[in-house]
Amino acid sequence: MCGIAGKAVAGGRVPPELIRRMCAVIEHRGPDSNGLHCDDGIGLGIQRLRVIDLDTGDQPIFNEDRSVAVTLNGEIYNYRELRAELEEAGHTFSTKGDTEVIAHLYEDEGEACVDRLRGMFAFAVWDAKSRTLMLARDRLGKKPLFYTQREGTLWFASEARSIFQDPEVPRKVDFEAIDSYLAAQYVPHPLSAFEGVRKLPPATMLLWQDGRIRLRRYWKLSYATTLNGAGDRELEEVIRRELLEATALRLRSDVPLGAFLSGGVDSSAVVAAMAKQASGRVKTFSIGFDVETFDETAYAREVAELFDTDHHTFRVEPHAMELLPRLVWHYGEPFADPSAIPSFYLAELARSHVTVALNGDGGDEAMAGYPRYAGNLLAERLRHVPPSVLRATLKTLKAVAGSNEPSDFVRRARRVLETAPLAAWERYATWVAPFTEEERDALYTAEFRSELSERPAAKLIRDSFAASDADNLVERLLDVDVQSYLPDGLLVKMDIAAMAHSLEVRSPLLDQRFVEVAASMPVSAKSRGRKSKVAFKNALRRWLPDHILDRPKMGFGVPLKHWFRGELSELPVDVLLDPRSLQRGFFREDGLRSLIADHQDGRADHSLKIWALLQLELWMRTYIDPAEVPTQPMAVA
């Protein structure tokens, strides 16, 4: 796991000092060594976290005649198998690690080399003979890559702040990206929060030559059912086999490793698969809260005891908000998922014991674990109910709630009824949005609205839904999540939290083969009415107790609602209504005051909206206001 950065120019040389600066601001991603390759037209830099091949694996790494140079952020899990094949074909290796495999594969297969790689990666290949730079990102978007091009020159990096170490690249707000952020909790690819800077999409390569670029997508998940004739027992056996194999590949390491354990289905499944194959006791790590409805530590302890792991727990309290300056600096863009807080602490806890941790990310997207899939299916069925009946039912529910914040059941029921008339993709977009389009427009000033010509967040969801080859609603929604929330939300959250602490996180449930097999299963193996992850849970009953598998999903939430009405009630007022914030002219002051008052008086739960606005304002103060991008976390005044 590393951080990479570079610059390609059509003529001339790239100053080594610039590449060193670009790497220095992402040193946390790889503090063990740094490397540099500057030649005519190219500058490549790498900050390396040593995980495999500790002695000879420092980068950049070259082929035999040094005409191909490679920098890699991530891991190629099938590198041993590929190495054996390449050696048999006559290639000579000078290292024992995974990066060199890319150099020799590129020699033989060119840009098609990416099709052979099984892993999480963002890498750069410089071909000196053809003066071509190839950038590629893994299939599901585990590892990030930002880039920008101006007048034929290309900059790229694992984090956007590296690019801004070159004064030639301006820092401006991308207003459509900010609108998308408030619609999704994150800035969706290919946008970034900075005008002109883009994210390379997952499963995509970028080829630069002589100042011109082209992008090519090399993989897409298919939901065409190929296991339709398989019985339940056979499907369960396939799941166990693929999980064990994906986990075994991720146990390849020359440094200590452990696992995140929430006590939920996915993390418990990974710990079980590790315990069956790891040598020695597995180290496990959990996060807890003092608010009982958010705390899963009892379940985590039970699973830890079941597999005799070396278990460690950390409790998150309201003073965790002291973490805000570090969060804002490390995430580099506004990021509104509040579970970034416990993720940050979890990574810090794990890094004090191990260098690599496995987690359960991806299980919900592979096996239909989120309640929104069943909820959207129910709403789709209600589209045939007469509108007068829906309106009457809604009126009754609103009367039940009165002026107070509605219960979770009433809130979910209202959401289903209100969105039933919408198209499925619109319904999804509404459900995942902190602010609906109408709420955003009501909050924006006329000046902010004038900056918006498109609404890209909705387009990404609509296009992903339309492009899916799934023949049913649930799997189309799974496909949307794989194309949007997974790479831009969930995986960003964990990549930044982990890399802030120089920790590598591996996800067996995001293994290419595992997700392809899961997608090929009939939808009934994933979702049946209100039941989720049907075949996955049944496959695990040999390893885990029923009450762990069948308990309601809790997620990795944070008690923001309670904090913003208690210990942190002054924070939204102090930040969002500060003259410095209001003078930006983004949001109407009366709209902000109403939002905060309604939350604190118990009329509505606006905690996620408030958190999203806080993150945006603090990002502005960190990355837009200063004359230069700060090179380390700073107090956000």
pLDDT tens per residue across span 287-341: 887 766 677 899 999 999 999 999 999 887 766 668 889 999 999 999 999 999 9
Q: 323: number of CA atoms within 13 Å, CB side?
A: 20
* Number of residues that make up the chain: 637
- The predicted pLDDT at position 101 comes to 98
User: Which member of 2, 23, 38, 113 is catalytic?
Assistant: 2
Distance CA(197)–CA(145), nearest Å, equals 11
- The predicted pLDDT at position 416 comes to 84
Distance CA(30)–CA(21), nearest Å, equals 14
Distance CA(187)–CA(201), nearest Å, equals 12
Residue 544 has pLDDT above 90, yes or no: yes
Domains of the chain listed by start with CATH number = 2-217 (3.60.20.10), 232-321+330-368+479-550 (3.40.50.620), 384-419 (no CATH), 560-624 (no CATH)
- The predicted pLDDT at position 404 comes to 64
Is-catalytic flag, 113? no
Taking residues 136-160, report their average pLDDT.
97
* Better-predicted residue by pLDDT, 453 or 636: 453
- The predicted pLDDT at position 635 comes to 65
Taking residues 75-81, report their average pLDDT.
96
Q: Which two tokens stand for residue 175?
A: 């207003």
What is the value of pTM for the model shown?
Answer: 0.95
Inter-helix orientation angle 473-483/456-467, to 10°: 130
Taking residues 2-8, report their average pLDDT.
97
Residue 407 has pLDDT above 80, yes or no: no
The secondary structure element, H or E, covering residue 41 is strand 33-48
- Average pLDDT of the chain? 93
| Separation of CA 598 from chain center | 31
Tell me what percent of the residues of the chain surpass a pLDDT of 70: 96
- The predicted pLDDT at position 292 comes to 66
Residue 636 has pLDDT above 60, yes or no: no
Please provide the DSSP assignment of 303-327 as one string.
HHHHTT-EEEEEEE-GGGGGGHHHH
b/e per residue 312-339 (b: at least 16 CB within 10 A): bbbebebebeebbbebbbbbbbbbbbbb
Confidence band of 402 (pLDDT split at 50, 70, 90): low
Q: By mean pLDDT, which of 117-121, 393-397, 418-422 is the weakest?
A: 393-397
Taking residues 36-41, report their average pLDDT.
95
Taking residues 33-41, report their average pLDDT.
95
Distance CA(303)–CA(548), nearest Å, equals 8
